[in-house]
Structure 1
Amino acid sequence: MPFDLPRRLAAEALGTGLLVMAVVGSGIMAERLTDDVAVALLGNTLATGAMLVVLISMLGPISGAQFNPAVTLAALLGRQLGAATALAYVVVQILGGAAGAMAAHAMFAEQLLAWSTNARTGGGQWLAEGVATFGLLLTIAAGLRFAASALPWLVGLYITAAYWFTASTSFANPAVTLARTLTDSFSGIRPVDAPAFIAAQLAGALLATVLAGWLFRPDQELRT
């Protein structure tokens, strides 16, 4: 890659932070503007999807715009990143996400850190997170293979849709999940519920990575 590791890590931290700011900030704004949960979710959805398009377009050329430990795991398994670099990516993603949650709180004059009391648990929610992350990783793999220039839009539109067709509203990102434990607002998740979400996300990512390795490779590559 044309950018050195410190700048790539800075891009990953910045991108994850801005993504979490969009998720948490739009959730707080929605709560303040409406009591209608559907309208609040719509506002949260549009802000998140739009921010993903911007961030992937802006920072993708620097770091790959992963912003997501599940995506980094797929890159590690595909030998696009070494183990040490992948670990560094995950660390800065988690730290950037936490900083993004605090920045969103500061903008709205909220307490910087507030453990979420928003319960998100149960088999349907866990399945939803596995499905959401599976679909996200397939979208990324297919986009990189067949429509790289459209990847920011593919990811933004997928997440916009997945907010509405998954029971969990599609976190699909362990770093964002951890960051959302730090906000007792519309977009939060209780810390006790986060590990099951993350396990489901990683399982979905692994399944998508295996499938993509077969599905998106032409026959002649599979025979070599």
Structure 2
Amino acid sequence: MSAFSPAQRAAAEFLGTALLVAAVVGSGIMADRLTADGAIALLGNALATGAILVCLITLFGPISGAHFNPAVTFVFLGRGSISARMAGAYLGAQVVGGVAGTLLAHAMFELPLVQLSTTIRTGGAQWLAEAVATFGLLAVILGGIRFNPVAIPWLVGLYITAAYWWTASTSFANPAVALARSLTDTFSGIRPADVPGFVLAELAGATAAATLFGWLLAPDRSGLRQALSAPAADTSTA
């Protein structure tokens, strides 16, 4: 049983997702203002996102598990690691927190609070990239839990920093973040009409990762079964 109440855990998910999205949107705005070079702007956006993830997962992980992502919560629900009721609370907190993070970023940079993105992000290549990005993210999380839990903040932060660059979609890998980013017509935005395709791709990638790594990371018990079924050695003396 968690040492923290359901309200505390949901609040951690709200705060973590809000600060994550504020960092994503805010760093995109800052990068866009400081340079006309798209590559440098993306680098700044990626580094800020990866760095904030290390901090947020370290801070909120002991409270809620630091999901900040409906795809992650969906996988943990399927694994039986979280109840359906708590998963619903997490989902609501993540979505509301993501929207709050976008509004916060707009307020900090003196932009209109309510916006809709006009940045087109759609098509088979983009959806494939989102499925692959989310697959990799869940693989990193599940593998980290299995082999080195204390490294998860760094593993996730480094993975997302890298995935900004090697995926065509710049690795949203998060339905709540995709929705929140549809509400900003800035560097990191996504057109609202394109969000459903991203969300479906992200959930498909998460499901594939949960299925494959559920098998891949399971201990091989065949040797143990053989040992238990083998006849006992005769240790009697004449």
TM range (shorter): over 0.9
Pair 1:93-2:86 in alignment: no
How big is the shift at 1:66?
0.2
One-letter code aligned to 1:95? V
70 and 3 in structure 1: CA distance in 2 versus 1, 3 angstrom threshold: same
Q: Tell me the residue number matched to 1:103.
A: 104
Q: Tell me the residue number matched to 1:148.
A: 149
Q: Secondary structure at the match of 2:179?
A: helix
Q: How many residues align?
A: 224
Q: Secondary structure at the match of 2:221?
A: helix
Q: Tell me the residue number matched to 2:79.
A: 78
How big is the shift at 1:212?
1.2
1:109-141 CA-partner distances (Å, limit 9, x unpaired) = 000011000000111000000000000000000
Q: Tell me the residue number matched to 1:113.
A: 114
Q: Tell me the residue number matched to 1:40.
A: 41
* Aligned counterparts, 1:57-68, within 5 A: 57-68=58-69
Q: Tell me the residue number matched to 1:18.
A: 19
Structure 2 residues not aligned, in runs of 5+ = 226-238
Aligned sequence identity (%): 63
Counterpart CA distance in 1 for 2:205 and 2:88 is: 19
1:40-94 CA-partner distances (Å, limit 9, x unpaired) = 0000000000000000000000000000000000010000011111011001100
Q: Tell me the residue number matched to 1:132.
A: 133
Counterpart CA distance in 1 for 2:75 and 2:106 is: 31
How big is the shift at 1:221?
8.8
Please give the root-mean-square deviation of Cα atoms over the aligned residues, in Å. Answer: 1.3
One-letter code aligned to 2:120? A
One-letter code aligned to 1:98? V
Counterpart CA distance in 1 for 2:55 and 2:156 is: 11
Q: Tell me the residue number matched to 1:54.
A: 55
Counterpart CA distance in 1 for 2:50 and 2:222 is: 34
212 and 222 in structure 1: CA distance in 2 versus 1, 3 angstrom threshold: farther
One-letter code aligned to 1:21? A
How big is the shift at 1:5?
0.3
* Aligned counterparts, 1:149-188, within 5 A: 149-188=150-189
Counterpart CA distance in 1 for 2:143 and 2:107 is: 38
Q: Secondary structure at the match of 1:93?
A: helix
Q: Secondary structure at the match of 1:219?
A: coil
How big is the shift at 1:220?
1.9
* Aligned counterparts, 1:196-215, within 5 A: 196-215=197-216
Calculate the TM-score normalised by the size of structure 1: 0.98
